[in-house]
Structure 1
Amino acid sequence: METFVQEQKQQRPGTTTLPWASLAALAAAQFTVMLATSIVNVALPQIRSGVGLSDSGTTWVVNAYGLAFGALLLAGGRAADLLGRRRVLLAGLGLFAAASAAAGLASTSSALIAARAVQGLGAAAVAPAALALTMDLFPPGPGRGRALGVWGAVSGAGGAAGVLLGGVLTQAWGWSWIFHTVAVGAAVVLAAVAAAVPSAPAADGGRFDLPGTAAVTLALTALVWGLTSARRSGWTDAQVLGAFALAAVLLAVFVLIERRHPNPLLPPRLFTAGARVVSGNVLMALLGSVWIALFFFLPLYQQQVLGSSPLITGLGQLPLAAANMLGSTLAPRVSGRIGSTATVTTALLTEAGGLLWLSRIGAHGSYPADVLGPSLLIGLSLSIAFVQLTALSVEGVPRADAGLAGGLVNTTRQVGGAIGLAVLATLAGSVTADAATRRPHLEALTAGYRTAFGVAAAVLAATALLALLLVRRGSPRTGPSGVGDAHPGPPAPATVHCPQPIAPHTEK
């Protein structure tokens, strides 16, 4: 640790705080928004009875957050670049904390769903700004690899911790304390960011691409709404097809706007920085399609089939979270020894193996026999893949677009997750409905969950094969920084590739 601190002091002489302290605050911000993605899953039955939700309303407690989060990430990233990353991060955390408190105080379904949507809006500002500030603090080199390891640990563990904390709080004090606790946590993180994270200058010149932002936000909203509605009304429903058609039209309009706007929301230079940005985002979307579904189906199996309480279900996520954090710590070292291509491919294949193991769950199984082993395997490999693909998605991006690149990789993960969850939930529901006509209820539910895990395993196996092509072709041979194909060797000096330090008094 002493060597690491000295290395980072050399990298950023203009800052008044050590980068590892700033990283702790930024990672906590990312952990908080990822926590809110899954923290309600275990408590949905209690929330439903508490505010009188219908079946569709219960779904929207989850979807309202994910919809606002995913649809507005690009806008949040661009705002961070233009207005100042620290300023946008603090504003996002404040909005997130206020919306979390409002959700905990909600007494009607409409108030709760609206608060969750505003929560997602705050998260869309927090996630890209925090990642961009991390890239500012840690230039390419060993320090960035370590920073992304920490980032991956808290990002991946956020989903598992959400299930754990949701179960503990729901059983101990009731569902409203889920949101009260998140609100307090966000307020603490806001104070930590204000104290530990130095200011970064906003991009010079340019103006916000409002037409492009509106077009892509409405397009993603229509797409995610159509996907989530398809779970309830079917893929051929007129409203679902209409939502997909609207999304396609709006995306075409967005492309036209971007080609003509002097300061586009998605500037071409973001993609001409190298094939790595495109490759990383494509692979992250596929990984996201499985990641979000995992934290949706696994707690359902534990509660509805194994009969676990919310508390026991939450505690059951501890091994997954621990393995996730271990994998994120190991990711830069593994990549430095065997290269990014081998690391990503091996991690994705290992996670596919864990999901294939989960596809053998039984209706009369147990947590130790059916869940524990695959959870450890999945947690370890998921975090390694996440760290590598996050690094790949921001490598080579101009500093002025770092917030936008962070928003893009979060967008692809969220939209990929929405698509994956919608498809897998529809498929699992169809299998369960068919099996229910000739098999007991628990066996029918298990058949649906097994199908979802099996298909997810196949998706990740195909993603691993795709990574062999994309990562090898798009990544340069670099030192062990967590990015690129590299052979073992001594770390590059901390003073190499060091951009200008962050100006500590640019923002208030």
Structure 2
Amino acid sequence: MYKNLRGRPGTVLAAASVAQFVFALDMSVVNVALPAIRTALGFAPLDLSWVVHVYALAFGGLLLLGGRAGDLYGRRRLFVLGLSVFGLCSLAGGLAQAPWQLIAARAGQGLGAAAAAPAALALLTTTFPEGPRRVRAFGVWSAVNAAGGALGVLAGGVLTEYAGWRWVMLVNLPVVASALVLVLAGVPAGARPGRSERLDVPGAVLATGGVGLLVFGVVRTDARGWGSPATLTTLAAAAVLLVAFVRVESRASAPLLRLGLLRSRWIAGANVLVFLAAAGQFTAFYFVSLYLQQVLGMGAAATGAAFLPFSAGLVAGTAVATRLIATRTPRAALVPGALLAAAGLVWFAFISPDGGFLTDVLGPSLVASVGTGLVLAPVAAAATTGIAPGEAGAASGLLNSTRQLGGCVGLAALATVAAHRTGTATDPAALNDGYALGLAVGAALFVLAAVVAIVVLPRRRAAAPDPRPVTPAPNRLEGTPS
């Protein structure tokens, strides 16, 4: 079955990359438009953040479910369905006339992305065999993913300033259409896996509820604080559901996520590393954007343009990483990449209230972005090393979910750190101090990621995965080759 789904490798790579570009773009393109959205639709101040949070909540909470559903019901089906839902909800968001309509559309976008993103990564994993070809494919996918996130800031600023906020939603439509044409042309429908497995409903409910509550609790810390009863109760409930999920999965005959996967040092290490790296990357985007606008006084379009060197550095870093790990293990790029990204954020931490783009932003942007690019492609390769084809969707959903959680948790935590340093002051000098501290802590996260790569990831390549579908045994935590 899996061989029949391979299709045309170049078209599969193009479709997966274009889809990932629009998902990454959508994570950042809306942020710059929030003030205009508030004015146009009459959002209450406390409700405006839900334009961003509800997307993260739906996307992060449903990724594991989307990944496993692709394994069971066909990745091409989930890819097409997810892209279609994402596109229709983008159109609905662009036409929204009331706050609830936009929030509902953003939730639908998150749902569609949660179905399509792991399916796209799983298609890459099963289309390109482990080795140099897969590394190159992941390099292209990672570069496009990184460029989408960085260019989203530019697109958001330009579209908001010159075309109107609605275009930050409508811009997704031609990109989604292109991805749909590519996947429909290049990936055959194939048959469903020849197994009688059903979706693990208890596991799906517990995983979605646990991850969703975790994201919900974290993203609301901007309004309620980490120590508030509401936050503590939400996070405690999330912990209970996730513990129950682990217990249920350890006994399930056909689990949503086979816990034995986490016995692989490649998979476990890559997911811890991507959690830390995503937290550091999201932090850099967030604080640098605020520094440019709130301290240096740059407009939305100029702020977006200031991120172009960051985009170029990300693409360059992933290109170097692809060459570096073609004949070596992902550690060869992950360790220097994480340390280089940390050095760039340390440099960023020396920003000053009377600084400028050339003196305070350009240099550290290039260093941090090249380092981040060196991390992105290898971590995707590491997280799918030794994976049997029948579990590619589950592993891809786990990686995407971990990245999403890392960004949400890291950004919320470091925003709290920065706000504590700033206090109630709103002058540029005080804001500058808070942003600098947040960037310094982000650097520490990348250093910790380098330590994880050194200590956890194996020095040698894993054995080739068994191409046969996996039939998990109940009550056992079978590991994958490491």
TM over 0.5: yes
SS in 1 for 2:387: coil
Call closer, same or farther: CA 1:281–1:498 in 2, change over 3 Å.
closer
Q: Distance in 1 between matches of 2:272 and 2:50?
A: 27
Matched, 1:209 2:193: no
Does 1:150 find its partner at 2:140?
yes
Aligned twin of 2:154:
164
Q: Deviations over 1:277-318 (max 9, x none)?
A: 111111111111112222222222111111111111111111
Between the two proteins, what is the percent identity of the paired residues? 42
Which residue type is aligned with residue 212 of structure 1?
G
| Residue aligning to 2:169 | 179
Paired residue for 2:460, among 469, 472, 476?
476
Inter-partner Cα distance in structure 1 for 2:283 and 2:452: 21
Matches within 5 A, 1:386-425: 386-425=376-415
Task: Note the 1:211-290 alignment, pairs <5 A.
Answer: 211-272=202-263, 274-290=264-280
Distance of 1:149 and 1:291 partners within structure 2: 18
SS at match of 1:476: coil
Which stretch has the larger CA shift, 417-426 or 262-271? Answer: 262-271
- 8 Å CA contact retained: 1:139, 1:498: no
Q: CA RMSD in A?
A: 2.0
User: Alpha-carbon deviation of 1:56?
Assistant: 2.4
- Pair 269,259 (structure 1): closer, same or farther in 2 beyond 3 Å: closer
Equivalent residue number for residue 286 of structure 2: 296
Partner residue in 2 for 1:8: none
Q: Are 1:363 and 2:338 an aligned pair? A: no
Give 1:455's match in structure 2, choosing from 425, 428, 441.
Answer: 441
- Counterpart of 1:441? 427
| 2:249–2:257 contact (8 Å) kept in structure 1 | yes
1:18-167 matched pairs, under 5 angstroms: 18-167=8-157
**Which AA in structure 1 matches 2:308?**
L
Call closer, same or farther: CA 1:16–1:59 in 2, change over 3 Å: closer
* Cα distance in 2, alignment partners of residues 404 and 14 from structure 1: 19
Instruction: Mark the runs of 5 or more structure 1 residues left unpaired by the alignment.
Output: 1-11, 479-483, 485-495, 501-508
Stretch moving more, 18-27 or 359-368: 18-27
Aligned to 1:327: 317
Q: Where does residue 474 of structure 2 map in the other structure? A: none
Counterpart in the other structure of 1:465: 451
Q: What is the Cα deviation at residue 336 of structure 1?
A: 4.0
Q: Contact 2:272/2:452 (CA < 8 Å) preserved in 1?
A: no
Query: Which deviates more from structure 2 when the two are superposed, residues 374-383 or residues 289-298?
Result: 289-298
Aligned counterparts of 2:392 and 2:76: Cα–Cα separation in 1:
13
Q: Which amino acid aligns with 1:189?
A: A
- CA 1:297/1:259 → structure 2, altered by over 3 Å: closer, same or farther? same
Question: How many pairs were matched up?
Answer: 466
Question: What whole-Å deviation, never above 9, does each CA across 1:28-64 have from its counterpart, x for those lacking one?
Answer: 0111111111111111111111111223222111111
TM-score (norm 1): 0.88
Cα deviation, residue 256, structure 1: 2.1
> What is residue 376 of structure 1 aligned with on the other side?
366
Q: Given that residues 320 and 379 in structure 1 are in contact (C-alpha distance below 8 angstroms), is that contact kept between their aligned partners in structure 2?
A: yes
Query: Structure 1 CA distance, aligned partners of 2:450 and 2:260?
Result: 27
Over 3 Å counting, the alpha-carbon distance change for 1:58 and 1:451 in structure 2 is same
Tell me the distance in 1 between the aligned counterparts of 2:192 and 2:139.
26
Rounded to whole Å, the distance in 2 between the matches of 1:306 and 1:69 is: 33
Gapped regions of structure 2 (runs ≥ 5): 469-482
In structure 1, distance between residues paired with 2:65 and 2:4: 29
- Partner deviation per Cα, 1:169-199 (whole Å, 9 max, x = no partner): 1111111011011123212221221112333
- Residue 192 of structure 1 corresponds to 182
Write the letter of the residue equivalent to 1:138: F
The answer on whether the counterparts of 1:293 and 1:420 sit within 8 Å (CA) in structure 2 is: yes
Alignment-mate amino acid for residue 448 of structure 1: G
Cα 1:430–1:55 change in 2 (3 A) is farther
Report if aligned partners of 2:11, 2:183 keep a CA contact under 8 Å in 1.
no
1:432 to 422, 445, 450: 422
Q: What is the Cα deviation at residue 200 of structure 1?
A: 4.8
The equivalent of 1:504 in structure 2 is none
Give the secondary structure class of the aligned counterpart of 2:456. helix
Contact 1:139–1:499 under 8 Å retained in 2: no
Relative distance call for 1:249 and 1:499 in structure 2 (3 A) is closer
Check conservation: 1:95, 1:119, Cα contact below 8 A.
yes
